[in-house]
Amino acid sequence: MIDSITGRVVRVRADHAVVETGGIAYRVFCPTHTLSELHRGEETVVYVHLILRDDGIKLYGFQNERERELFRALLPVGQIGPKLALQLLSSLSPPALVDAIASGDVERRTAVKGIGKKTAQRIVVELRDKLGGEFGADINLAPLSEKEELAMRALTSKSLGFSPREARQALERLRGEDLPVQELVRRALEIIGS
């Protein structure tokens, strides 16, 4: 399995880039924001997902491993193939897509051809819990401080039982306030309860 490609960007097109490494040029299909970061002649690292089908082999490339994992999470959803998953990732940034799924708002937030009401509902039903967990909680967000990490553990413990997403959102609202861990937990509980 190919995990990533490190090489020189040969060309960038509307839906793919060509990256050359070791004398071999790979065509990699990417979301638009990934393509916008690739420039001809520059060295790059693209995290890839390989799909082998009867009609050929295709590589799908991403800026980081988290974005690739979101792509992989979308693939098993009924009616979502690699092309539609890539379109979803092109229409919304990974954090915005995770938020749209968690809030059940995929259809309204995306203008992707092929994503109707039923497909949007299927995405929400199949991925809401998965993406609301550890995967969705910290995608592309600033890292938690040591105090915030302790507060996060307390809020998501079995005794309090909040989802990592709920806890993270509450702690994000308290960013910048230098509070002890117990006060962070107390204030986060107030935010979640409101």
* Domain at 95, CATH number: 1.10.150.20
**pLDDT at position 17:** 97
Are 47 and 17 within one domain? yes
What's the structural domain count of the chain? 3
pLDDT (tens digit per residue) in 107-133 = 655 667 777 778 888 888 888 777 655
* Domain at 26, CATH number: 2.40.50.140
Are 127 and 88 within one domain? yes
Are 90 and 117 within one domain? yes
Q: How confident is the model at residue 60 (pLDDT cuts 50, 70, 90)?
A: very high
Are 69 and 127 within one domain? yes
Are 81 and 130 within one domain? yes
Are 95 and 40 within one domain? no
Q: Which structural domain, as residue segments, surrounds residue 189?
A: 146-193
Look up the pTM and report it. 0.67
CA 48 to CA 6: how far, in whole Å?
A: 11
pLDDT of residue 154 exceeding 50: yes
Are 76 and 132 within one domain? yes
75-83 CB contacts, 8 Å cutoff, 24+ apart: 76/126, 77/122, 77/123, 77/126, 77/127, 78/122, 78/126, 79/114, 79/118, 79/119, 79/122, 80/119, 80/122, 80/123, 82/29, 82/49, 82/51, 82/58
Are 95 and 125 within one domain? yes
* Domain limit, last residue, from 42, 62, 82: 62
pLDDT (tens digit per residue) in 86-99 = 999 988 878 778 87
